[in-house]
Amino acid sequence: MRFRNSFAIGLAALTLAGCTSTIAGTASPVPGQGPVVTKAEPCELITQEQAEALGVTYPGKERPADKARKIPATCRYPELEDAPDGVALEVSRSFDLSQGDYLNGALPGEKFGIGGFTWTRYATILGPSYCSLITELDPKTFVEITSDAPGDDNSKACDLAKAAAPAVASHLPGGQPSPPLTAPPGQKPIEASGPLVTVDPCSLLKPDQVAPFNLAAARPMNGSSRDPKNGCQWDDNDGDEGKKALDLWIYTATKLEDVPGLEGTPVEQMVAGKKWVVYSSPDSPICVAMLPVTETSSVKLDTGDLSDNAKACEIPQAVMPLVTANLPAS
């Protein structure tokens, strides 16, 4: 995900088109309430429990203020590994730096009443994919919460920043207690679920079923950190030519569209009442067959023919009925 450079961002004097509404019921911080701020300490504005609820890494990493360049101290909370739409969260708190000096003329946009404060979105030179929410505590102190849009959906740029605002506000003078926090969709890794969670991949093809394909004995494989999947490989016995090894993967926490290696033209095929999707291309020696079981769990067959592209899908076509029959009833 993008790593913000506070100086490079330098909030630009841009107008956020269509962002003029103000949420009713906003409050202002109570003057003199709470401890006197002697330094910024932006990493004190989110607890471990709150970070876990928001789907960001804890503890955050602080970048010190740069008074000469009018940059406040910032705490960065990276996105969690394997979160499908995870973005980083940054919380900044100024000390002896006014909001006006920091904004340098940027025009306000949409306003949100959250946690007892009015948070205003300001445009930045990073454009609509970046969200900056700011509230002023006093003439020399402000707090900024920033997040990015996941992927190309700029309408979600503020989702994480707004989700974090109640947590941040709860640690500010005059702030309201934080309600239970909810991370935006995709901000946390998908949890393993479905009927495949307890399935041994090597059990989906029996030794006698594999024998006609001249493949080696089954060998368990562990998946990458991208998904808590497990796999099984039946290696080929014909060297660097001919059939490719047969890999069978079980995904239990990945949407079909996020499974890697699905290249070529997808063709749906019904096998014993189950809908498989076969991916192949005339100019590729690889053939992949996918069996979606739930929204986030599936079986993947990956093999091919290194000598004849036209034969790439021979083994998957022969194996799909066997795997389908060996799946647990669901």
Tell me: the pLDDT tens digits for 191-232?
A: 888 999 999 999 999 999 999 998 999 999 987 655 557 899
Q: Are 77 and 89 in contact (CB under 8 A)?
A: yes
Provide the pLDDT for residue 239: 73
Q: Whose CA is closest to 309, among 252, 242, 223?
A: 242
Q: Which fold has domain 6-169?
A: Protein Transport Mog1p; Chain A (3.40.1000)
Q: Which pLDDT belongs to residue 36?
A: 52
Instruction: Report the Cα 144 to chain-centroid distance in Å.
Output: 22
* All residues at 6 or more sequence positions from 7 whose CB lies less than 8 Å from its CB, including other chains: 66, 69, 71
- pLDDT tens digit sequence for 39-57: 779 999 999 999 999 999 9
| Percentage of the residues of the chain whose pLDDT score is greater than 90 | 74
Where are the chain's structural domains?
Answer: 6-169, 201-326
- Dist. CA 145–CA 164, nearest whole Å: 8
Residue ranges of alpha helices (H) inside the chain are 6-9, 48-54, 99-103, 159-169, 207-210, 314-326
Return the structure tokens found at 9: 């961002």
- The reported pLDDT for the residue numbered 277 is 97
Q: Are 290 and 262 in contact (CB under 8 A)?
A: yes
Chain Cα centroid distance, residue 47: 21
Count of CA atoms in the C-beta half-sphere (13 A) of 29: 21
Q: Please, what is the end-to-end C-alpha distance for the chain in angstroms? A: 38
**Ranges of the chain whose pLDDT falls below 50:** 1-35
The predicted pLDDT at position 27 comes to 42
Nearest alpha-carbon partner for 259 in 219, 299, 286: 299
Please say whether the beta carbons of 183 and 54 come within 8 A: yes
**The model scores a pTM over 0.75:** no
Burial of 282 (0-12, 13-18, 19+ CB in 10 A): exposed
Cis peptide preceding 59, ω within 30 of 0? yes
17 token code pair:
């088109």
DSSP letter for each residue of 209-258:
HHGGGTEEEEEEEE--TTS--EEEEEEESSTTSSBPPEEEEEESS--GGG
The first and second tokens of residue 53, run together, are 């609820």
In angstroms, the Cα distances linking 70 to 61, 93, 144, 146 are 19, 12, 14, 17
